[in-house]
Amino acid sequence: MFKKILLPIDLSNRHDQALLVASELAKASGGEVVLLHVVAVIPGLPEEEGFYSRLERVARKQLEHLHEWLTKEKVPSHVETLVGNRAKEVIRRAQEIQADLVILTAPRVDPEHVPAGLGSMSYKVGIFAHCPVLLVK
């Protein structure tokens, strides 16, 4: 059912559960996982001496570790990095690769301040993505 699964990853260590879910769904359907990290552009900060390029290299190295784990699990995968607005780039890339599913780590929303969670990347992707979006807690 899910032949192409997009798994956006930031540089935190909160994605173990989402990675497991992506792995299991890909195995069950004979699909592949696209590990994606979007380096967020900081408004007003120009590209100085490869600043964003260095951030991309750091992200790629972390994603390569996840790719190696998926390879050991016999799940086809590959790594991509982009620079830009995180939500826009995830939505755009999901459309470009014709993703069947986007899996995101659910943000921690404070029940006392629910509206703050409405600005999260996962909320934006969930609203605008062309395909189903799965939030994993």
- State how beta strands 32-40 and 133-136 pair: unpaired
Total domains in the chain come to 1
- Residue span of the structural domain in which 37 resides: 4-136
d(CA 4, CA 64): 18
pLDDT digits (tens, 9 = 90+) for 62-121: 999 999 999 999 999 999 999 999 999 999 999 999 999 999 998 777 677 666 666 788
Which helix (H) or strand (E) segment is 38 a member of? strand 32-40
Write down the pTM of the prediction: 0.91
| Strand-pair partners of 82 | 38
CATH number of the domain encompassing residue 103: 3.40.50.620
User: Which residue's structure tokens are 């032949």?
Assistant: 3
pLDDT at 18: 96
Burial class (CB in 10 A: 0-12, 13-18, 19+), 118: exposed
